A = this chain, B = another copy of it.
Amino acid sequence: MLSQKTRYSIRALQHLADHVGTGPVPLGEIAEKQRIPKKFLTVLLSEMGRSGLVSAQRGRDGGYWLAKDPTEISYGDIVRLTRGSLALVPCASRWAYESCTSCVDEEGCRLRMVMLTVRDATADILDGLTLADDFKAFAADKRIPALSVGNNVTAEQH
C-alpha cells in the first residue's frame, strides 16, 4: 500500500500541475483544496523541495510551484522519491535494492522472480504517465470500469 505521505504528495503535485503559470501557490490553498493537514503538508513539501520536485518562494505572495515541466514528472518518480521503491519486496527493487533478511536462496527465490516481474510492469505504467497527462483520455483508453462498491465479491471476480 502507498502511505498517506505518498498519496498526499501526489495530490499536492497534481494541484501544482493544474496551476502551472499562475505564480506561486501558497501551502494553505493546497491544503484546503486537497484536504491535507496543513502542518503535515509543510513537511511533505519541504521534502519534495529537497528532492527537486518543487520550488518555493517565501514571504508575501510566496508559495510553491513545480520545479520541472509537468511532462517531466512521472508517477514513477514521485513514488520512488516518497516511498523509496516501486517494488513489493525490497529484494525486487531496482532503485532501492535490499537483500531480504531470512531469505534462504535469493538467486533461486521464486517469490523474488514473480515480484521482479510485477515491479517491471508497474514501472512501465508509472514511468509512462506524467503529471501532464490527460486522465479523461487515459481512462477512456484503458476502459476503466466502474467499481462495485462494497465487498460483495463472487468467486469469479478474483
Contact = CB atoms under 8 A, between A and B. Distances in A.
For chain A, give the interface size range. Answer: 35 or more
A157 B120 CA distance: 12
Contacts of A87: 1
A135 B110 contact: yes
Given A36-B102, A102-B36, A121 B125 contact: yes
A113 B135 contact: yes
Nearest to A148: B97
Interface of A: 1-2, 7, 10-11, 14, 33-36, 75-77, 80, 85, 87-91, 94-97, 99-100, 102-104, 108, 110-111, 113-118, 121-122, 124-127, 129, 135, 138-139, 142, 144, 147-151, 153, 157-158
Contacts of A124: 121
Contact of A89 (B2, B94, B117): B2
A89 B7 contact: yes
A58 to B, nearest CB: 27
30 contacts: A1-B90, A2-B88, A2-B115, A11-B104, A11-B111, A34-B104, A35-B102, A36-B102, A75-B114, A76-B158, A94-B153, A94-B157, A96-B151, A97-B147, A97-B149, A108-B135, A113-B138, A113-B139, A113-B142, A113-B144, A114-B129, A114-B135, A116-B144, A117-B144, A118-B122, A118-B125, A118-B126, A121-B121, A121-B122, A127-B158
